[in-house]
Amino acid sequence: MKSKIKNLTKLMPKKHSIKVGIIGGGFGYYGHYKAFQKINSCKVMAIVTRKKINLPNNVKVYSNVKKLITNENLDLISIATIPQIQQNLFSQLIKYGANLFIEKPLGINYLFCKKKLTNLKKLKVAINFTFPEISEFIYFKKKLIKKNNKFITINWFFKRNSNKSSNWKSNREMGGGIIFNYFSHSLYYIEFLFGKILKIENIKKTKTIFDCQIITENSRKIYFSLNCDYEKKSKHEIILNEKNSIRLFSPNALRFDRFNIYVKNKKVIIPNNIKKYGKDKRYLYVAKLLKRYIKAINNNTRFKPNHLDGLKNLMWLDKIEKI
């Protein structure tokens, strides 16, 4: 059944009026499903997954996407599956007629994805890039980054044997690997914090290490280093000056909900912020992003990050892979 609802404006005020389908039972469950549970105007109708997950009886489970779009009349489809699979879903989902919420990277091939995402008509596509929803990143950008910050260092290091992720995340052909799976995240937050990326040069890459220099607008130089086989403790840090006195830092290389700001080694306390300890809180940031996205759909306004941002990201990844 093709979705009949293209504009959610009249539905927004009503509780559970936006019918949602989710593709993927990994982050699709603990990232997307839990996020939609925080939004009163949304109701998850079904999930496509072969995994056994804890769902209420009124949420249907389908084994494939064809069954989902044949049996459900959805307003929004949220995709959290392997990039290789994801890029092959675009045509049928756009034809179906629901707005799309997509994980990054969009797929494994820039030109293929560009072709598939050219005829969206009135549909809106959002990319799940949550760094602009994190209070520490917002504060870091507005309060600490100055025009004279011309040299930035980014270190993203995984302690050796600590990154035991699913098989696809280390498989380039499926959309994984050190560049597609990890660097794709950094491209988004670099542009959010420091401006449009103009050039990526001095590239050095192996299976576990990726180093480069990134030039952004305002003549900024970013020295980026990604290491998946680090001998010491894991860390993810963005350093504004040579003295290391201003840092956006996380001791957890995989979890983006663990960042704190340090100025002269003193933690900056941000009021009313999401707690940094305990269970995985990433879904709360996804929920914040989804609320902005739904508002943009209803007001028919531009939303970022959208499919164009996703394609630009994928273009950089493609270029780097070919070097």
Written as one string, the DSSP assignment of 169-197 is: GG-GGGT-HIIIIIIHHHHHHHHHHH--E
pLDDT of 191 > 60? The answer is yes
- The whole-number average pLDDT for the span 156-165 is 74
- The whole-number average pLDDT for the span 235-246 is 87
Give per-residue pLDDT as tens, 289-301.
Answer: 999 999 998 888 9
Share of the chain above pLDDT 70, in %: 91
Q: What secondary structure letter does DSSP report for 130?
A: -
pLDDT of 188 > 90? The answer is yes
The Cα–Cα gap between 86 and 116 comes to 11
Residue type at 93? L
Q: Dihedral through CA 115, CA 303, CA 289, CA 8, nearest 10?
A: -90
pLDDT of 185 > 70? The answer is yes
pLDDT of 201 > 90? The answer is yes
Q: Residue 134: which of 295, 306, 16, 289 has the closest Cα?
A: 289
Q: Where are the domain boundaries for CATH 3.30.360.10 in the chain?
A: 132-273
The Cα–Cα gap between 281 and 38 comes to 12
The encoded tokens of residue 67 equal 């069954």
pLDDT for 13 equals 41
Please name every residue paired with 266 in a beta bridge, in sequence order, or none if there are none: 263
**Looking at 127-136, 202-211, 272-281, which range is the least confident one?**
272-281
In the structure, what pLDDT confidence band is assigned to residue 253 with cuts at 50, 70 and 90?
confident
Vertex 62, ends 57 and 64: CA angle to 5°?
Answer: 165
In the structure, what pLDDT confidence band is assigned to residue 5 with cuts at 50, 70 and 90?
very low
Helix axes 184-194, 307-321, angle to 10 degrees: 120
Helix (H, G, I), strand (E, B) or coil at 243: coil
Q: Where are the domain boundaries for CATH 3.40.50.720 in the chain?
A: 18-129+284-305
The Cα–Cα gap between 137 and 259 comes to 8
Kindly give, in sequence order, each residue whose CB lies less than 8 Å from that of residue 95, ignoring residues fewer than 6 positions away: 2
Q: What secondary structure letter does DSSP report for 296?
A: H
- At the top level of CATH, the class of 18-129+284-305 is alpha beta
pLDDT of 14 > 60? The answer is no
Around 67, how many Cα atoms within 13 Å sit in the side-chain half-sphere? Answer: 11
Looking up tokens 């340090």, which residue turns up? 262
pLDDT of 9 > 70? The answer is no
In the structure, what pLDDT confidence band is assigned to residue 165 with cuts at 50, 70 and 90?
low
Residue type at 204? K
Handedness of CA 86, 90, 96, 102 (dihedral sign): positive
Return the CATH fold of 132-273: Dihydrodipicolinate Reductase; domain 2 (3.30.360)
In the structure, what pLDDT confidence band is assigned to residue 164 with cuts at 50, 70 and 90?
low
Q: Residue 316: which of 148, 54, 123, 106 has the closest Cα?
A: 106
In the structure, what pLDDT confidence band is assigned to residue 6 with cuts at 50, 70 and 90?
very low
Residue type at 20? V
In the structure, what pLDDT confidence band is assigned to residue 279 with cuts at 50, 70 and 90?
confident
